[in-house]
Amino acid sequence: MNAPDPVARLRVLAAGLRAPLYAEATLGLPFDQVWAVIADLEGELPHLVSFVREFRVPPGDSEHKTAQAVDVLGLRGPFDVRLSPGWCLMQSRLVTMGVAAAPDGPGTRLAVCGAARPAALGPVQRVYRRLLGGRRTRAFFREVERRAALR
Amino acid sequence: MDEDVRPWDVAAPLVRAAQRGDAFAMDDLLKLVTPYVTRLCTPIAPADTADAVQESLVAVFRGLRGLRDPQAVYGWVRAVTVREAVRVARRTAGETPAAPEEIARLQDLLPGVGGGELSAEVRDLLVRLPVQHRTVLVLRELEGLDERTTAELLGVPEGTVKSRLNRARSSFRKAWTR
């Protein structure tokens, strides 16, 4: 097991980050179809995460990129992005977000993780928890599935 | 790993950054220690290496902030891993397989197998699944227990139930469609 599957890997990171948000779900669509939605960060992320209004990603196939996010509070900031099949880790000065996926039979196991950076102030952590609570994660999974089904 | 570079020299700066909450450093550290953790877990928990590795890694990263000396990371990873791997290996010995009549009801999970009788193929396929996979399948799919209750019943963490269930469903389907 030198390369744990991405979902197991994200579970470990969530434990390390003491992430207030971590959830998994199995979607009834094939991996490639689901991952196409996640990998299209610029086109899809604003649909999937309610507080991200705009996410600009430089073009190209590089696995490491710096994207620009604009959230509903108007905060603008660079996000470092690591993207590869089944794995997406994004980090700004304030927050970390991870999405991982692995084929699960005919469907796809999808996991999402969100955490505030420890350097950030307490209130940010609380706001983030509210923005990405349990209801939001279920909405996230539903929306990924809905948008993947359209592809 | 390069023989000339001491592994803790590579790990120490990653540990410091990870302790500050840098997820990328944590991810790099995870990649760095996973082969070592796997090497330790394989002989200690041969029947449950994947669980042992996963639980060791979770324990390592959960405790990372408390590690005072980043240079000591490998010794500390070893201590945590051995403790977790032994716990996982002992746990397995105490488990009991599901009763045959319960396993028999699993046929409902399979497409194209109807009626009250368990076909020989399904029985054969189930017997070939590891005991713990059979057990989680039965508790979760047939008894309808949620993951937390299943975890309490088996005396394992909820995360293990989740991962075993994933593997059980996947190998069950794979074996069936083969």
Domains of chain A: 6-149 (3.30.530.20)
**Residue B88 is assigned to a structural domain of this protein:** yes
More confident site: B155 or B95: B155
Q: Tell me whether residues A16 and B61 touch, CB distance under 8 A.
A: yes
Tokens of A1: 């097991």
Q: Are residues B72 and B119 in the same domain?
A: no
Please tell me the distance from the alpha carbon of residue B163 to that of residue A136, in angstroms, as a whole number: 23
User: B61: domain CATH number?
Assistant: 1.10.1740.10
Show residues of chain A in contact with B1, CB under 8 Å: none
Query: Cβ of B170 under 8 Å from any chain A Cβ?
Result: yes
Asked if residue B160 belongs to a domain, the reply is yes
B22 and B61 inside one domain: yes
My answer on whether B51 and B120 are in the same domain is no
Residue B88: CB partners within 8 Å, gap ≥ 6? B41, B45, B48, B51, B52, B55
Q: A56-69, pLDDT tens digit by residue?
A: 888 877 788 888 88
- Residue B162 forms contact with A (CB below 8 Å): yes
How many helices and strands (H and E) does chain A possess? 5, 7
Q: For position A127, what pLDDT does the model report?
A: 63
B56 and B88 part of one domain: yes
Query: Are B16 and B89 in the same domain?
Result: yes
B45/B117 same-domain check: no
Shortest CB distance from B21 goes to which of A4, A9, A17? A17
Question: Is residue B84 located within the same domain as residue B104?
Answer: no
A90 token code pair: 């994004």
- Among B71, B93, B115, which residue terminates a domain? B93
The answer to whether B159 contacts chain A (CB < 8 Å) is yes
Q: How many domains does chain B have?
A: 2
Query: Domain for residue B1, yes or no?
Result: no
From B53, B73, B93, the end of a domain falls on B93
Return the residue in A13, A63, A113 with the most chain B beta carbons within 10 A, the one to mutate for interface testing.
A13
pLDDT above 70 (res B157): yes
Within 8 A by CB and 6+ apart from A147, the residues are A37, A44, A47, A48
Asked if A91 contacts A80 with a C-beta cutoff of 8 angstroms, the reply is yes
What is the C-alpha to C-alpha distance for residues A75 and A42, in angstroms, rounded to an integer? 17
Task: Tell me the residue range of the domain where B141 lies.
Answer: 100-177
For residue A12, CA distances in Å to A18, A104, A110, B60 come to: 10, 19, 15, 9
Same domain, B68 and B139: no
pLDDT tens-place string over residues B123-143: 556 556 666 776 677 667 766
Strand, coil or helix: B45: coil
Confidence class for position B153, pLDDT limits 50, 70, 90: low
Name the domain boundary from B93, B127, B148.
Answer: B93
Nearest CB partner across the interface for A117, out of B21, B62, B162: B21
B23, B35, B58 member nearest A11 (Cβ): B58
**C-alpha distance from B74 to closest chain A C-alpha (Å):** 17
B53 CB neighbours in chain A (<8 A) are: 1, 4
* Structure-derived torsion over alpha carbons of residues A101, A104, A106, A110, reported in degrees to the nearest 10: -30
Least confident of A131-135, B58-62, B154-158: A131-135
In a domain, B147, yes or no: yes
For residue B10, the distance in angstroms to the closest alpha carbon of chain A comes to 18
Cβ–Cβ below 8 Å for B62 and A15: yes
Residue-wise pLDDT tens digits, A8-61: 999 999 999 988 889 999 999 999 999 999 999 889 988 888 778 888 888 877
Please indicate, yes or no, whether residues B38 and B107 belong to a single structural domain of this protein: no
Q: CB B153: neighbour CB atoms within 10 A?
A: 14
- The verdict on a CB contact (< 8 Å) between A82 and B173 is no
- Does B66 contact A at CB distance below 8 Å? no
Instruction: Answer whether B173 sits within 8 Å of A11, measured CB to CB.
Output: no
A4 touches chain B (CB under 8 A): yes
Note whether residue B141 is domain-resident.
Answer: yes
Give this complex's ipTM. 0.85
Any domain includes B108: yes
- Distance to chain B for A17, nearest Cα, Å: 6
**Nearest-angstrom CA–CA distance, A110 and A5:** 11
Chain A interface, mutation test: which of B73, B133, B163, B173, most A Cβ atoms within 10 Å?
B163
State the pLDDT at residue A52.
80
Task: Identify whether residues B64 and B45 lie together within a single domain.
Answer: yes
